[in-house]
Chains A and B, each alone.
Chain A
């Protein structure tokens, strides 16, 4: 009987995201029907477009990359019971500092320049996470409030810096007309992250040129593994979890929760500082006013679905990457309007988060009974 139950728990855990996706797809079908399209065709196209093309698969990996970093950063906060909603601001600042180091230093070898740029990104994220945690530890300001506020400050600050201070003045207006991009100068070649094309070609995988999959993807995977070990097997990770579950007991045991909060939040910020770098160093090569936003919030959803498990985060980030790529496909091939796609994506995400949560709670109850 006990064994049966174990299998049941296992099956449910695996089934959770699948059931969630099926339910989400069913509800979404109503919306697709409402715009006079065939849901089966839409989903078929979405899958076929996403998984039958090499470039699509690589693009899913590329899409997942920033979300892996973002969700890892969120999960570190969650582990110690803090809600870091400030990933958004932290990665914008991190990305900007990385860009600054990338375009202002010239003539360095890549082996020095690239690490410097990455360190600048990390420093930016840490800087922006230090403010809210300092306020929390010293003044008791709730981190949710301060991080949200600092997101806005970061947006505005970055825009000011790009539009007014570091705007690329080298761009010329042809015939004095049109408009130049409001962006930083381009980063030096030595600051850019290499793509994975060369490495993958060793295995006979020839990625098309327009794929931007770069080494930040494996870095993200390694980081996930590293964070898994850090949280599960080091004294610091131990303290992180202890404080996260019970700050009072931890304090009485001689752990200083404030110190743990400070270190943990800085770590979260450091990881957040890497969120934008795959796009910056592997795709845009400059930072403009339009630099992708929202990874911080998507990261929260990714972490929720993955229940803060680093390996789960990789999987759920891939899921988000797929949703994005798949919707490009149905927009271009089936002319599904963007608004519908936005609704579809949001529904999918909400359903998956809610349903996995429900199923996981159920599994938890089963496990509790098991233990009793």
Chain B
């Protein structure tokens, strides 16, 4: 069998860090090869080398048997390597067709020959069985479709080797299934696919072979048939990982957070929240699942007080909070772990210690006359750093330079150290690697043990299932089903997520 990509002893150093340390990799033509590893293991660096964005310091690259130097992204395209980025590089205002041909237009004189382009793309769509409306504006199509556009885009440029960077991070379970159907079809047609992920279930499902990276080194390549999830996780982390959280029974106490019939107007006359009611007791984790954009964000924003334009009551420990400022709501005992760390949780250019007191910087314990008591704040931060084992070089480092997991730990330590009664956690493990994820989960469970009420909003079904005591499925601004995790299967939940009254598969 021919080898599509062979990497020999690839080494890439950045100041103070070896991102790839003598990595060897062999990818057969026509296989789906997964590359897994924790964040910071060197997956992205390796792929960027393959895409011509970085140059390796040492080592050799062979593409279809020939030694090559991939000096630029253009060179990568020339070598038929196509990159599908995690964050789509598409233009909302353009149609699907325009997005695909952008930058690789076929010309007729000076005009773009759309007709020829359309024919070429149509052929591709038929060949690979892709379902896409070429004339739809990008802003009108779903995330899953946008991803297809990205894939077709690289195919249109003649790629034979497709690199997909965390392609499932943004998809609902049904959409993931569709993607996998597409990928298998591509494989049948002889394309080689490199699939980067840290979701082990998916990797085991789709890949033929799996290469595990750990701290810049390739620790091994295994066949997907011959390995279990636990074994893979162990290879990734370097030590055995507890895949099933052992969830001790917790003492359920009074209702600490209650929402009663919350209605909030959304864009275009539709309600983004349409009469949401739920109660979370102390010692309980209430998980909310749903396809993104069904009101999760608004729900969180209403509870923390970011949005006040709703009807209905929200009570924290029995006291209504509608009309209170964010600060007052936080002071009444609500901690918030926002879904977007960078935009909502941290001030990236500021230092670690400064981020550790964000929101509490006016508390008396951090005051010294008219100044901030920097010594106290530093002590506090150092304490958190120790307790949450946050990996940093200095608390005076800008938080921008930290890994996602460590950034999340800073938020977690900040929010949890204030002894909240209610914890509102929105996508608390998004983008984190297994180690960090496990840490966050343990922290949440510990708070549950301590009798706090936790409202967990997550797109990660498995996470919700394993953590929650009760689960609510949100669809179109309504809780359409509420049950204990053991009552329903993953498939049942998926059906609820896509609208209980709709046919499954009609995802858009």
Chains A and B touch each other in the complex, with CB atoms below 8 Å apart: yes
A12 to B175, CA, bound (A): 51
* Chain A window 1-41, contacts with chain B (Cβ cutoff 8 Å), 1 for yes, 0 for no: 11001000000000000000000000000000000000000
With contacts A245-B347, A370-B15 taken as known, whether A253 is within 8 angstroms of B401 at the C-beta atoms is no
Q: Which of A150-158, A234-242, A319-327 is the interface stretch?
A: A234-242
- Please give, as numbers and ranges, the residues of chain A lying within 8 Å of B326 by CB-CB distance: 251-254
Q: When chains A and B are docked, how far (Å) is the Cα of A235 from the Cα of B362?
A: 6
Whether A241 touches B15, Cβ cut-off 8 Å, given contacts A234-B370, A253-B359, A371-B397, is no
A-B pairs under 8 A by CB, number: 86
Q: Is the CB of A246 within 8 A of B15?
A: no
B294 to chain A, nearest CB (A): 21
Top 5 closest A-B pairs, CB basis? Answer: A253-B359, A254-B327, A371-B401, A369-B15, A246-B347
Whether B330 lies near A254 (C-beta < 8 A) is: yes
- Known contacts A234-B370, A252-B326; 17 further A-B pairs (Cβ under 8 A): A5-B15, A234-B371, A235-B362, A235-B372, A238-B361, A238-B372, A241-B350, A242-B347, A246-B343, A246-B347, A250-B347, A251-B326, A252-B306, A253-B330, A256-B325, A372-B16, A372-B17
Chain A positions 313 through 331: 1 when the CB is less than 8 Å from some CB of chain B, otherwise 0? 0000000000000000000
The interface residues of chain A lying within 8 Å CB-to-CB of B331 are: 254
Residues of B within 8 A of A238 (CB): 354, 361, 372
Question: B residues bordering A, Cβ < 8 Å?
Answer: 14-17, 304, 306, 325-327, 330-331, 336, 338, 343-350, 354, 358-359, 361-362, 366-367, 370-372, 374, 393, 397-398, 400-401
Q: Do A372 and B306 touch across chains, with their CB atoms under 8 A apart?
A: no
Contact B401 A368 (CB under 8 A): yes
A249 touches B344 (CB 8 A): yes
Q: Which of the listed residues A245, A250, A372 has the most CB atoms from chain B within 10 Å of its own CB?
A: A372
Is there an interface contact between B401 and A249, defined as CB atoms closer than 8 Å? no
A252: which B residues are within 8 A, CB to CB?
304, 306, 326, 336, 338, 344-345, 359
Q: Which residues of B contact A203 (CB under 8 A)?
A: none
Q: Which of A229, A251, A370 contacts B16 (CB 8 A)?
A: A370
Within the complex, the shortest CB–CB distance from A33 to chain B, in Å, comes to 41
Which residues of chain A come closer than 8 Å to B343, judged between CB atoms? 246, 248-249
Which residue of A has the minimal Cβ distance to B377?
A: A238
Chain B positions within 8 Å of A370 at CB level = 15-16
Contacts of A1 in B (CB 8 A): 15
Closest to A1 in B: B15
Q: Mark A324-357, 1 if CB is under 8 A from B, else 0.
A: 0000000000000000000000000000000000
Q: Smallest Cβ distance from A364 to chain B, in angstroms? A: 10
Closest-by-CB residue of A relative to B414 is: A253
Q: 20 A-B contacts, Cβ less than 8 Å apart?
A: A229-B371, A233-B371, A235-B366, A238-B354, A242-B347, A245-B348, A246-B348, A248-B343, A249-B346, A249-B358, A251-B306, A252-B306, A252-B344, A253-B330, A254-B325, A254-B331, A369-B14, A369-B16, A370-B16, A372-B16
Asked whether A255 is an interface residue with its Cβ less than 8 Å from the other chain, the reply is yes
Chain A proximity of B360: nearest CB distance (Å) = 8
Shortest Cβ distance from A242 into B: residue: B347
Q: For residue B336, which residues in chain A have a CB less than 8 angstroms away from its CB?
A: 252
Report the bound CA distance from A5 to B401 in whole Å: 17
B-chain residues with CB within 8 Å of residue A245 when the two chains form the complex: 347-350
Residues of chain A within 8 A of B306, CB atoms compared? 251-252
Chain B hits for A234, CB < 8 A: 370-372
Residues of B with C-beta under 8 A to A242: 347, 350, 354, 358
Residue count of chain A within 8 Å CB distance of chain B: 27
Cβ B304 vs Cβ A2 within 8 A? no
CA distance A17 to B156 in the complex (A): 49
Chain B residues contacting A235 (CB-CB under 8 Å) are 361-362, 366-367, 372
State the Cβ distance, B226 to closest chain A Cβ, in Å: 36
Interface residues as binary, A120-145 with B (CB distance below 8 Å gives 1, 0 otherwise) = 00000000000000000000000000
A368 partner residues in chain B, CB cutoff 8 A: 400-401
Binary contact readout A243-271 vs B (1 if CB under 8 angstroms, 0 otherwise) = 00110111111111000000000000000
Instruction: Tell me if B401 and A255 are in contact (CB < 8 A).
Output: no
CB contacts (< 8 Å) of B359 on chain A: these are 252-255
- Which of A234, A241, A253, A368 neighbours the largest number of chain B CB atoms within 10 Å of its CB? A253
Q: CA separation between A239 and B400, bound complex, in Å?
A: 18
Interchain CA distance A199-B346 in the complex, whole Å? 49
Smallest CB gap from A372: residue in B:
B14
CB of B372 within 8 A of CB of A253, answer: no
**For B398, what are the chain A residues with a Cβ–Cβ distance below 8 Å?**
371
The distance from the CB of A242 to the nearest CB of chain B, in whole angstroms, is 5
Kindly provide the distance from the CB of B94 to the nearest chain A CB, expressed in whole angstroms. Answer: 28
Report chain B residues within 8 Å CB of A229: 371
The answer to whether A2 touches B15 (Cβ under 8 A) is yes
Complex: chain A residue closest to B336, CB-CB = A252
Quote the shortest CB–CB distance from B374 to chain A (angstroms): 7
The distance from the CB of A111 to the nearest CB of chain B, in whole angstroms, is 26
Residues in A whose Cβ lies below 8 Å from that of B15: 1-2, 5, 369-370, 372
Cβ–Cβ < 8 Å partners of A256 in chain B: 325, 327
State the CA gap A134–B304 with chains docked (Å): 26
Rounded to whole angstroms, the CA-CA distance of A253 and B336 in the bound complex is 9
Give chain B residues whose Cβ lies under 8 Å from the Cβ of A250: 347, 358
A245 to B348 alpha-carbon distance, docked (Å)? 8
Q: Among A2, A5, A239, A251, which residue has its beta carbon within 8 angstroms of that of B361?
A: A239
**Do B397 and A249 have beta carbons less than 8 Å apart?**
no
B367 proximity list for chain A (CB < 8 A): 235
A-side contacts of B393, CB under 8 Å = 371
Residues of A with C-beta under 8 A to B401 = 368, 371-372
Which A residues are CB-close (under 8 A) to B345? 249, 252
Chain A minimum-CB-distance residue to B374 = A233
* Chain B nearest Cβ from A361, distance in angstroms: 14
Q: How far apart are B78's CB and chain A's nearest CB, in angstroms?
A: 28
Q: Least Cβ distance of B401 to chain A in Å?
A: 4
Of residues 202 through 249 on chain A, the ones whose CB sits less than 8 Å from some CB of chain B are: 229, 233-235, 238-239, 241-242, 245-246, 248-249
CB distance from A23 to the nearest CB of B (A): 28
Closest to B343 in A: A248
